[in-house]
Chain A
Amino acid sequence: MTLPPILAALRKHKSGVVLITLQIALTLAIVCNAVFIIGQRVATVQRPTGMDEQNLFLIQQQIVNAPTGNDAASLERRYAMLRSDLMTLRGLPDVASAAPVRSLPLLQSSNNGGVGLQPNQDHSTATTTFYGGDEDLLKTLGVRLVAGRNFTASEITHDDRGGDWQPPVAIVTRALADQLFPAGDALGKTVYFNGGAVPTTIIGIVARLQTPNVGWGSDYNWNSTLLPTFPNDTYTRTAVRAKPGQLDAAMRDARQALVAANPQRVIRNGFAGFIGIYPYSDIRARAYRADIGMALLMGVICLVLLCVTGAGIVGLTSFWVGQRRRQIGIRRALGATRTDILRYFQAENLLIAGMGVALGAALAVGLNLWLMQQFAMDRMSLLYVLAGVVALLALGQGAVLAPALRASRVSPVEATRSV
């Protein structure tokens, strides 16, 4: 099979060839970038939070009959009620551990602030999110302590409703420690939170713990600080770790036991998902819904695009076959085999698709550069383009097969027939 006859035939169908080339080029450009976006979103969604997420669930509830004031008596009374709830949960047979929490990674409810190295520092050295809990917090979340020690029970305070309370000790993530003390000697050092003058000593460093927000503050995703504070409010959150494989049973028992201990509470699922008992997988799914939605949408668009382009190739080639029946008949009468005819259409398609993917590869890179500029996207690896080129060439060959086979079945007798 030689090229000149194919080129001569294509010259007769310039507009058709240009159109199908452009279509293949645009399809390649969009599919490459869409798959790249899917890859990025999937990578975002799969980032580990630093916790052991299996068997973890969260109870968010409101204690209705607790005092609401901030005076010492109310604080103590409320703490006693929260404490007794915690004891109830810890006593359940399927519960491994439980801890009061202010927030959790991906929960989209956060208290963030600055960390400085000097008292009353004007501009903080790093930004962090604040988690609060008691001495069982690390164990319950399954966060790995890499240096220093955990809080002791005597360090836990409970006269706090949230806000800028500055404790004498704190545990930070490795990422935050390295940002504050690049020399890697953060353990035992003193820091000041939110531009204050009260010193806080770093007593422990954990490997990794993500912040509660996924969209906002992505520049400090891994800067977390754990404070030894038992959140003392009528609206409370408790993280609970079930014994392996006992998640459902533990969630069911927790609800029953809490209601039995004090029915004056709101724990039904409701109020826009702020109250209720949720496995951690629900929290993760909720946080990344938009990313998963976008990835799915891109996937559907890719699929439909490839189908449309494939169908376009089938349609156009079918017309060309129909148009050239006489010429095919003549070639067959002059001795061309069926395989020759088949190969002819396959080669023709390869040529057109080759031009399309060459143009499309350039377009794909250009589109990625434009997206980088407009939407702060990362640079796309050329492997995506390469995979796209292979996929579209394969699509072209697949689409051309049926019409080409039909062409190869044209009988030599056609040469003698007029249209």
Chain B
Amino acid sequence: MFAYYLDLALRSLKRNKVLTALMILAIAVGIGASMTTLTVMHLLSGDPLPGRSQQIFYPQVDATPAGYAKGGPLDMLDYHSAVDLWSAHRADRQALIANSEVKVRTPDVSLPPLMVPMLATTSDFFAMFKVPFRYGSAWTAADAASRARVAVISSDLNDRLFGGADSVGKILRLKDSDVRIVGVLQTWRPSPLFYDVRAGRFAEGQTSSFYDKPEDVFMPFFSGLEVNAGNFWQFTCWGKVATPGHLQDAPCVWVALWVQLDDATKVADYRAFIASYAQQQKALGRFASTQTRMPSLMQWLVFNHVVPSDVKLQTWLAFAFLAICLFNVIGLLLAKFLRRSSEIGVRRALGASRGAIFAQCLVEAGVVGVVGGIGGWLRTLTGLWLVRRQPVEYADLAHLDLGMFGLTFAVAVAASLAAGFLPALRASGVAPALQLKTL
């Protein structure tokens, strides 16, 4: 029966080519627009660390003077609190991070010096965030303890400086120090760059910078601070900085701590630990407030509104657009089916059930949906190509994965079946006697 309905549908669609084309185009345009924005939305709102993100937390305490941080602790930590919490080693894994920009030169390669972003961090960083290595490995705890001049570099920087060859053991000159490369990362592109996410609630929706690439140079925290001294950025300060860029004793927050806590008991214990730390620091007179906070990674991303508001706006718009296209298709299908009332009347009089008429009409709507889906898929690919040419940090991420590919077709067929439902219902309700009378 399905083959017969398909044949009927194709005949009916061929009868009025312009209208068929119009319906298909409407579905294709609607699907293309909504799937493009949905894909971008999906990329931007996804879990940057699948399988691990539930165990990652961002502890925060408040070292500011009384009344300074009214809406909870600031987005980063001061140096002393961060180092205290880190050296307590109460979590399963823990990583301190501090951002700076460093001048890079290579003694072996005759390239001009580069300014690249550097992350000073502790050795757990790589295991905790499942960072993949191409060559070598992370530095050891012993390297970190002895303040060894070692570094891990991104595959991007390795390509730029060494043409992608194994550069482990080579020397980089970072600012004025010689540093040995111990590891080269594979292409690693967490989306968003979650561990650097902060201040999102002040960004007024302009958060596309959260989707930037990871840093090019990673150094052990304390040796990194020494090597690139004077170039560290504060997040914010509540007093005067004696020597800019040297923030260890400055009244500033500029270090972040990420911890991995494997089960609920450990999470509760850690919350208690930072609370007691805050109490103790208040007793010592260093803290004015005992407020603490420890969001999980995903909570922290939500708190920072990581998905740019332009992207959200575009997604809403695209779906409203799809709705209009669907109204259009429903109207056209309705007119088309009801115009064939006499034909339907004959079929009904010859014994076709209402269900059969309904199925026949839905098959016709489905055919429009499948063809529209293919058109929509092409349009989605074009749309993503356009997104990739946009000057935004997440541009290189915009690709259609298998799931979204399937979803595009599912949405197209579902949309056109939904569009066909009302017209098919009306068509199957046609009274045969009335139609036959006018023949």
Contact = CB atoms under 8 A, between A and B. Distances in A.
> Do the two chains bind?
yes
Interface of A: 15-16, 19-20, 22-23, 26-27, 29-30, 34, 37, 62, 64, 68-70, 120, 122, 162-164, 194-197, 215-216, 218, 234-235, 266, 271, 274, 286, 289-290, 293-294, 297-298, 301, 304-305, 308-309, 311-312, 315-316, 318-320, 322-323, 371, 374-376, 418-419
Contacts of B407: none
B330 interface: yes
Interface stretch (B128-136, B220-228, B318-326, B368-376): B318-326
Interface residues of B, number: 56
A16 B335 contact: yes
Contacts of A216: 202-204, 206
Contact of B324 (A26, A62, A294): A26
B439 interface: yes
Question: Does more than half of chain B's interface fall in helix, strand or loop, or is it mixed?
Answer: helix
Given A26-B324, A26-B327, A290-B208, A375 B313 contact: yes
A407 to B, nearest CB: 15
Interface of B: 19, 22, 26, 29, 33, 65, 103, 112-115, 175-176, 202-206, 208, 230, 237-241, 244-245, 309-310, 312-314, 317, 320-321, 323-325, 327-328, 330-332, 334-336, 338-339, 342, 390-392, 422, 426, 438-439
Contacts of B239: 122, 195
Contacts of B392: 290
Contacts of B324: 23, 26-27, 30, 305, 308-309
Contacts of B176: 68-69
A311 B240 contact: no
A375 B205 contact: yes
A308 B328 CA distance: 8
A69 B33 CA distance: 54
A309 B328 contact: yes
Centre residue among A162, A266, A290, A312 by max chain B CB count within 10 A? A312
B204 A215 contact: yes
Contacts of A419: 342, 438-439
A311 B23 CA distance: 10
B29 to A, nearest CB: 6
A323 B339 contact: yes
A20 B336 CA distance: 15
Contact of A68 (B26, B103, B240, B241): B103
Nearest to A323: B339
Given A16-B334, A290-B310, A290-B391, A376 B205 contact: yes
Given A319-B335, A376-B309, 15 more contacts: A22-B327, A23-B328, A30-B321, A68-B176, A194-B237, A194-B241, A215-B204, A216-B206, A290-B310, A290-B390, A290-B392, A293-B391, A308-B324, A309-B324, A311-B22
A315 B332 contact: yes
Contacts of A62: 112-113
B335 A301 contact: no
Contact of B334 (A19, A215, A286): A19
Question: Does more than half of chain A's interface fall in helix, strand or loop, or is it mixed?
Answer: helix
A29 B327 CA distance: 15
A196 B242 CA distance: 10
A368 to B, nearest CB: 13
Contacts of A195: 237, 239-240
A124 B399 CA distance: 46
B317 A418 contact: no
Contact of B336 (A23, A319, A374): A319
A323 B340 CA distance: 10
6 contacts: A19-B330, A26-B320, A62-B112, A271-B114, A301-B321, A375-B312
Which 10 pairs show the lowest CB-CB distances between chains A and B? A215-B206, A163-B244, A319-B335, A312-B328, A19-B331, A266-B112, A23-B327, A289-B391, A315-B332, A164-B244
B211 to A, nearest CB: 13
B331 A16 contact: yes
Given A62-B113, A311-B22, A419-B438, A316 B331 contact: yes
Centre residue among A30, A64, A311 by max chain B CB count within 10 A? A311
Centre residue among A19, A216, A316 by max chain B CB count within 10 A? A19
A234 B237 CA distance: 28
Contact of B422 (A15, A26, A311, A319): A15
A375 B245 CA distance: 36
A26 B339 CA distance: 26
Nearest to B332: A315
B334 A15 contact: yes
B309 A375 contact: yes
Given A22-B327, A375-B312, A316 B335 contact: yes
A418 B335 contact: no
Contacts of B114: 271
